[in-house]
């Protein structure tokens, strides 16, 4: 399957941190689950999360819940840079790590060769060059249950993943957001009307012709 063919089955989420949302977490989660179920029904069964606090992690958690219930849906975690989560509360950091350990894909590349990471952590991993990005490591079919989670946990613990950006910069979140839009055919936005990263992502999607489903944030 070509990259463009894969893209035809993907949707991505964008949205605000919890403190910027005007609606309750429960209300947002209900809308997220409704949209994810609709996306899967429409053939978009690979969901990309930018892994920020709030909407991104909630959407990822819902994808994993549906997958565990038997829904044919998979999760890509698009992490902007190493240490992204370190300034968060312990609770949010734990949620971030738990999602990464259960994801089907992590938007990351090994510091060394793809072959080395594959041999050490994930014998069935596939690695593919994606346009305008570093390599993406596909932790796909890399065992099941506990063994799979341990491989991912080990890889994360050893810091062998290279993220979308080498480190924090003013542009890193927009780079991450554009990567998500470039690899999806639908954007689902939880938006409160304010300027910022969510609006920039929506504007970029409009610029390149990717439809946006807008939900009140």
Tell me which of 31-40, 53-62, 79-88 is least confident: 79-88
pLDDT of residue 169: 82
- The arrangement of secondary structure in 3-104+169-216, i.e. its CATH architecture, is 3-Layer(aba) Sandwich (3.40)
Residue 57 — pLDDT band, cuts 50, 70, 90?
very high
Rounded-to-integer distance, Cα 197 and Cα 216, Å: 16
The total of other beta-carbon atoms located within 10 Å of residue 89's CB is 10
Whether residue 56 has pLDDT greater than 90: yes
Rounded-to-integer distance, Cα 140 and Cα 99, Å: 15
Q: What is the pLDDT of residues 141-172, one digit of tens each?
A: 334 455 555 555 554 444 344 466 777 888 88
Percent of the chain topping pLDDT 90: 61
């Amino acid at each position: 399957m070509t990259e463009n063919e894969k893209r035809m089955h993907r949707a991505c989420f964008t949205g605000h941190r919890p403190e910027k949302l005007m609606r309750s977490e429960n209300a947002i989660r209900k809308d997220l689950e409704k949209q994810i179920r609709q996306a899967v029904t429409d053939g978009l069964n690979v969901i990309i999360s930018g892994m920020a606090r709030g909407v991104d992690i909630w959407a990822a958690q819902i994808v994993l819940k549906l997958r565990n219930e038997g829904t044919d849906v998979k999760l890509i975690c698009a992490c902007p840079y190493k240490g992204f989560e370190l300034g968060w509360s312990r609770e949010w950091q734990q949620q971030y790590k738990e999602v990464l350990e259960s994801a089907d894909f992590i938007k990351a590349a090994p510091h060394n060769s793809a072959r080395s990471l594959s041999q050490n952590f994930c014998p069935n991993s596939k690695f593919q060059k994606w346009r305008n990005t570093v390599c993406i490591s596909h932790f796909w079919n890399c065992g099941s249950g506990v063994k799979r989670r341990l491989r991912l946990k080990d890889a994360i613990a050893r810091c062998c993943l290279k993220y979308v950006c080498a480190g924090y910069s003013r542009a890193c979140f927009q780079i991450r957001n554009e990567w998500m839009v470039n690899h999806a055919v639908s954007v689902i936005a939880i938006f409160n009307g304010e300027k910022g990263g969510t609006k920039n992502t929506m504007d970029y999607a409009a610029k390149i012709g990717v439809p946006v489903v807008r939900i009140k944030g």
